[in-house]
Structure formats: structure tokens, C-alpha cells
Amino acid sequence: MSAAGDSGSRALLFSGHMIDGPGRATPRFPPALEPAARQAIEGELDRLAAGPADVAISSAACGGDILFAEAALARGVKTRVYLPLDEPAFVEQSVAFAGDRWLDRYRAVISRSERLVAPDVLGPLAAGEDPFERVNRWMLDEAQRLGGARVALICLWNGEGGDGPGGTKHMMDVVQAEHGDAVWIDIRRL
């Protein structure tokens, strides 16, 4: 994976927590941290001098994914959004619970990005396969295909396991298993 300051095109891979839904028992990404998270993501893209020669790869859940995609699009970075489920199921599970504001932002990101839907591209899930783990591996494979050794992972994470399979911890584990580098924005310090 590539370091900051390299010239030429790169794949900018992102994984991060969703914004906390109403009534979440243990806060992970409270809505009050959104401005600080946006600033931290934008700061990493600035540090990497992200621009039109690069490609941004993420999903589009409310929270970190959308913040990353918005920041990448604002810099003219070609953005590819990978959905683990068919779009209506993804929106219901990973966007709608956070309200209309996030739905509008999701639609704005999708309208300006290349959208890839796992069931359409990869086919049905294999028995016992988790859609969120599969999309993490797919995004990493795509980042390596598009960026070669020039992949930069940015994650917005609290350092803990997720609410289920997949998620940011899984992406970090997969990247670290391949001896990749990652920029960890520790949400607990925002």
C-alpha cells in the first residue's frame, strides 16, 4: 500500500462507523461528532493530496462512508460506491434509520458516483457468507486492482469490534493481514 506524498493515481479506500441511530445503547459515532469526523477525513484527503487522478472506494452507509464520499467528490476524485446488499435493502438497513438528511446525502453521493451492487456483480451469497465481510474483501480487491501497490486505507473507527460481521474492524483485520498500511482516525479522540 502506498504512503502519503506519492505522485500518480491511487486507490483511496475507506471504512468507517455509521452514525449512531436514535437510542443506541453504547455510543460509537454520536451525531455531535460529525463535524470533527468530516474535518478529520478531509484532512487525510488533503494530506494525501487526493485529486482527479485518484479513485475513491467505499460503501455508502450514513456516517463515515458518506462523509468520505462527499469529501472525495468535492476534490474531483472519481468515486466508486460498493453496496453489500441490493439497494433498497441497503438503504433500509444502513441509511434510513438516521433520517431524511442522510437519505438525501446518500442520494446525492450515489448520483455522482459509480454504483456497484454486490448481488448484481458477484452473484448470490455463498452459504454462510456475510454480505458485509464480502463487500470489504471486494472493495480491497478492487482497490488493489485499480491502484496496484498504491492503495491508501483511511478508517474512522473506535478500535473495537462491530455490531456484527463485516464493518471497520473486519476491514482493518483484512488490510493488516496483507501487511497493508492504514490511517486510523480514532473516533474516541475526536
What's residue 4's pLDDT? 42
User: Chain centroid to CA 179: how far?
Assistant: 19
**Across 76-80, 161-165, 169-173, which has the greatest mean pLDDT?**
76-80
CB-based contact 103:138 (threshold 8 Å): no
Of all residues in the chain, the percent with pLDDT exceeding 70 is 95
Give 176 or 154, the one with higher predicted confidence.
154
- Mean pLDDT check: name the lowest of 61-65, 80-84, 164-168, 185-189: 164-168
pLDDT higher than threshold 90 for residue 169: no
The C-alpha atoms of residue 60 and residue 107 are separated, in whole angstroms, by: 10
Computed over every residue of the chain, the mean pLDDT equals: 92
Of all residues in the chain, the percent with pLDDT exceeding 90 is 77
What's residue 63's pLDDT? 98
What's residue 5's pLDDT? 41
Question: How far separated are the first and last CA of the chain, in Å rounded?
Answer: 26
pLDDT higher than threshold 90 for residue 101: yes
CB-based contact 50:12 (threshold 8 Å): yes
Buried b / exposed e along 2-24 (16+ C-beta atoms within 10 A): beeeeeebbbbbbbbbbbbeeee
Give the pTM.
0.93
